[in-house]
Structure 1
Amino acid sequence: MDRDFIPVRIAVLTVSDTRDAADDRSGDTLVGRLEAAGHVLAARDILRDDRAAIAEKLRAWCADPQIDVVISTGGTGLTGRDVTVEAHRDVYEKEIDAFGTVFTIVSMNKIGTSAVQSRATGGVAQGTYLFALPGSPGACRDAWDEILERQLDYRHRPCNFVEILPRLDEHLRRK
């Protein structure tokens, strides 16, 4: 059985104390790839490394019925200002544990043991997928090209994120 492509609506959040719209190379990388794949850019923003502000933005986008997926870039490292992972986990209802593991495997093939410094993560909240990626364009390319492009394509077999998207919030609906 052949399946038709189903575009999903994706919001991109760049977390940085130094970037703005003119030099957001990682955000641009994600937007270029998601649009080239046939998906819809539903929203885009840049926020400073502030845990509460990031979590607030994630919750707002999760509550928006016009957004299916949120991808953030930046703030996943180990320094004191890197709080994106904590903000994501403040919002998650369920963590997609294997996302970080698979990202680490992909990264190991590209940057060797430096991959241990990444804390990429994924999860689900309010029927929305959330992914936190490192702030480099290379890491964004790797995550999109090796993981997200396939998992956000309804035609990908044996399974993908899109086919279960309508069921992510089934626990909130009345029986």
Structure 2
Amino acid sequence: MILDVVVASTSRYTKFGSVRDPDRAEDLSGKVILEKIRTAGYTGNYLLIPDGVEPIQRAIKTSSADAMVICGGTGLTALDLTIEAAEPLFEKTLPGFGEIFRWQSMKEVGTRAMLTRATAGVFMKKPIFCLPGSPGAARLGMDLILAEIEHILKHVME
């Protein structure tokens, strides 16, 4: 199984460009995600892009992976556009992912968990997961994703 890991960060992109290795972008969250994917025995591809509806939608539409994890851009600032980019493409939504993510986040960050807009959906039989950009959120999100990814893929392929 192949998972694309797309990190949406204008500040990192401005500093490092379109790199394909989280170490080259000093990206702890991307590194956490890739390590979890590889530890689970899957293949992960990394891409750093700037925030914005167009770059995120382009990454979603051109991905040939089995699933995608988009990290960053789920907050409340003007540049946080991951949800605005991904949700219009979703043919199906997975509201339970965001609900469980926030519920589990409560244990770590308290009521600040309500600030995350973590979500998931399916685009062209590809599960897309949108995670906050912190390393802790990356770890938690990947634990949830990897626990169910094979089951999710089985359902979307039917």
Tell whether the structures are fold-level matches, with TM greater than 0.5. yes
Residue in structure 2 matched with residue 56 of structure 1 by the alignment: 58
Indicate the SS of the match to 1:79: coil
How big is the shift at 1:35?
Answer: 0.2
Report the counterpart of residue 172 of structure 1 in structure 2: none
| Aligned counterparts of 1:82 and 1:71: Cα–Cα separation in 2 | 16
Q: Which deviations, in whole Å up to 9, do the C-alpha atoms of 1:85-105 show, x marking residues without a partner?
A: 111112211111111101100
Corresponding letter in the other structure for 2:155: I
Q: CA deviation at 1:148?
A: 1.0
Q: 1:48, CA displacement in angstroms?
A: 0.8
- Give me the whole-angstrom Cα distance separating, in 1, the residues matched to 2:124 and 2:154: 16
Q: Map of 1:4-153 to 2, 5 A cutoff?
A: 8-19=1-12, 20=16, 21-41=24-44, 43-61=45-63, 64=64, 67-145=65-143, 147-152=144-149
User: Once the two structures are superposed, what CA deviation does each residue of 1:57-93 show, in whole Å capped at 9, x if it has no partner?
Assistant: 11111xx2xx110001000000111000111112211
Query: Which residue does the alignment assign to 1:4?
Result: none
1:124-143 superposed Cα distances (whole Å, 9 cap, x missing partner): 01110000000001001011
- The 8 Å contact of residues 55 and 90 in structure 1, kept in 2 or not, is answered as no
TM-score by length of 1: 0.81
Aligned residue for 1:30, secondary structure, equals: helix
Counterpart of 2:20 in structure 1 is none
Distance 1:163 1:81 in 2: 34
Residue identity in the other structure for 2:38: E
> Which residue identity does 1:134 align to in structure 2?
P
User: Which SS does the other structure have where 2:11 is aligned?
Assistant: coil
Question: Which amino acid in the other structure matches residue 102 of structure 2?
Answer: T
Q: Deviations over 1:17-66 (max 9, x none)?
A: 1224331111111000000010111x3211111111111111111xx2xx
Whichever of the two has the greater Rg, that structure is: 1
After TM superposition, the score normalised by the length of structure 2 is 0.89
Once residues 165 and 95 of structure 1 are traced to their aligned partners in structure 2, the CA distance between those partners, rounded to angstroms, is: 12
Structure 2: segments with no counterpart, 5+ residues: 17-23
C-alpha displacement at 1:163, in angstroms? Answer: 2.6
**RMSD of equivalent CA atoms:** 1.2
